[in-house]
């Protein structure tokens, strides 16, 4: 395996770990996966701050997801997964997790 392949595999593992952590934390904070998998929904910044305050690992995952372009902010300024993030979420959790992937 070449170094680039190893790096890509590591990045995909990190993304998948962050998506799994995000799914767990969303559930713990009363959200469903559709909160971030549907582009027109999303989570408001104040709610993101509240999740980060109660679960510091959220901020790390949010940063990884944004930096890897698996998540961004929609036209309403809410945190959502990009098409790539939705595709990974769908791959990990099935069709119900990301109906629009």
pLDDT of residue 5: 63
DSSP the chain: --HHHHHHHHHHHHHHHHHHHHHHHHHHTT--THHHHSTT--B-HHHHHHHHHH-THHHHHHHHHHHTTSEEE-TTS-EEE-HHHHHHHHHHH-GGG-TT-
Each residue's pLDDT tens digit, 52-86: 999 999 999 999 999 999 999 999 999 999 999 99
pLDDT of residue 92: 86
pTM: 0.81
Arithmetic mean of pLDDT over the chain: 85
pLDDT of residue 101: 40
């Amino acid at each position: 395996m070449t170094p680039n392949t190893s790096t890509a595999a590591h990045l995909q593992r990190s993304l998948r770990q962050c998506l799994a952590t995000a799914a767990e934390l969303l559930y713990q904070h009363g959200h469903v996966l559709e909160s971030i998998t549907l582009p027109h929904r999303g989570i408001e910044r104040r709610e993101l701050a509240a999740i980060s305050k109660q679960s510091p690992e959220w901020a790390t995952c949010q940063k990884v997801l944004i930096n890897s372009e698996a998540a961004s902010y929609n036209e309403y300024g809410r945190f959502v997964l990009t098409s790539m993030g939705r595709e990974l979420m769908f791959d990990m959790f099935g069709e119900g997790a990301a109906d629009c992937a």
